[in-house]
Amino acid sequence: MPKEPIKNALKGNLVQIHKVILTPEQRPEGIPASTKGTPYEAWIKGFLLDDEARIGDTVRIKTFIGRQLSGTLVEVNPVYTHNFGKPHPVLLAVGIEAEKWIEKKRQVGHGK
């Protein structure tokens, strides 16, 4: 049974905020219309500076590198869900071939 997401945060908790950096009207000319028509947004992780907050509140955070930012609280104790996608067979083969080439160079004395 999946756990209920945490909806309350206390000062010092790791949280994630959402922030609109540029509205569509603020986006520069010269970018594709499909891009210009959408806001430029950021989702940022950091430690809550406010005493307490609920999902949807405007909060202040301190990021891992010390920046202080404000935005809408979207998650408490966020997880990293990114990955590098499925491996490409061609790239796997290149890695194996490169390893063989390096080993061959070492054996003949060129890799010292």
Cα 93 to Cα 97: distance, rounded to the nearest angstrom: 6
Q: What percent of the chain has pLDDT over 90?
A: 66
Mean pLDDT on 74-85 = 90
Q: Which of 71, 72, 61 is nearest to 12 (CA)?
A: 61
In a domain, 37, yes or no: yes
| Count: domains in the chain | 1
pLDDT attached to residue 65: 95
Cα 61 to Cα 50: distance, rounded to the nearest angstrom: 8
Cα 44 to Cα 92: distance, rounded to the nearest angstrom: 33
pLDDT attached to residue 24: 96
User: Can you give the residue range of the structural domain that contains 57?
Assistant: 8-84
Token pair of 55, please? 């999902």
CA distances from 108 to 8, 82, 98, 103, 105 (A): 63, 42, 16, 9, 5
CA distances from 36 to 19, 59, 62 (A): 17, 28, 30
In a domain, 98, yes or no: no
In a domain, 96, yes or no: no
Q: pLDDT tens for residues 8-57?
A: 999 999 999 999 999 999 999 999 999 999 999 999 999 999 999 999 99
What is the CATH number for 75? 2.30.30
Cα 105 to Cα 84: distance, rounded to the nearest angstrom: 31
Q: With 90 as the cut, is the pLDDT of residue 108 above it?
A: no
pLDDT attached to residue 1: 63
- Longest CA span, the chain: 65
In a domain, 3, yes or no: no
